[in-house]
Structure 1
Amino acid sequence: MTALLHKLVSDNFMTRMYTGAMEAGVKHIFFPVQDEALKDSPSARAVQERHDAWAADIPKDDDALWHWLAGLDDASRMALLAHCVSYGVNALYERPNPHSAGGVSQHTLDMRLAQADRLTRATGLDIVEAGWRPTFGNYLSRVTKPRILEAVREGAGERAAELIDHLKKGDMAKEAARLLADSGWLPEPLRLAGVDGDPASDAGGGEEAEGSELPDFLSTDDDSESPADGEDDERHLVAAE
């Protein structure tokens, strides 16, 4: 355990290149595209604060690091291991590409997401409680108008969806973010699959959201969806942490 931690901590916290005996590592997973606000989200800040707290205690000298790790209690060693390994968790949805060796197969994607669901249950992760909300940048501006309306219908109720169904896509996405802010609604890729493999049915209460009246300047806007808006939204979906 000490040797493994020494390697992972060196990879995650040291600027020098590791040239030791332990051939082990964690492949860090990054979003190919992400909302600018993601780095300031509650979960991202929590990860950075945890990293900074460990960094303040970790010795920089190689030998000193080994002895420091060997002296940690079991709970601290496991917490540090979990932190280092967490950077390699991949729960990203990708469009399956059966025609290219560079893409991910449907089987691989299914296994990835099933294991991500299992890990979510094992850790008791609640994405809504962790601070995720559907916003203009992280979801609503990246999907089609019908999908925006579907989200509002599920999370805030039919009346709320009717209030915004005449808006241009940009205004619709902004108003949808306001209507869904405290609804607990999640897009399907972020929902925890049911025990039988079906998506969890509780995607939001569907009750009428408070403050579901449109601002006056939006109440008469009308526009049809442009061709670009009709592209498959899964191509643009970013499933955040």
Structure 2
Amino acid sequence: MEKIVLTAARDIALDKLVASGANVRRITAGVSVEDLAEDIARRGLLQSWSVRPVVDDQGAEKGQFAVSAGGRRLAALRLLVKQKRLAKNAAVPCIVKTDGIEEEDSLAENTMREALHPLDQFRAFKNLQDQGVTIDEIAARFFVGAPVVRQRLKLAAASQKLLDLYVAEELSLEQLM
């Protein structure tokens, strides 16, 4: 069996990063760039970006890196720079790739993830509430409506047997509520 070697992230100045045309995300949906910028301002970056060196026609590196996975985060950081809340040369953790197909990196990042299950979301929201965070604060921090937070927190009243049926997909969220 072949051993896998992971690439370590390295810091690259934000002003050396450019958007890649190979990013597969074209349609924006979900959390806005403005909301993402606010989340990054609050929490920092939570994952490295996948980048590739930009080369000229002769194949020589130009000192810039194309962001193939992390385009929305790039837009969010640029917004923070525009708002003078972040230095234009802030260090960004990046994994520099030179092999494989660039579009594959973007496609993998956008498809090889799983949305958080509502029961996991309930547990996380409940933990925050137990620490004194209000429903409105939870909603604001995670860009969901307060009714969503209230709905998830209602799961606390459900029996473990019903929760197990929900996890096994034998009950829908609507039936559980």
* TM-score when normalising by structure 2: 0.27
Over alpha carbons, which structure has the higher Rg? 1
**More helix by proportion, 1 or 2?**
1
* TM-score when normalising by structure 1: 0.22
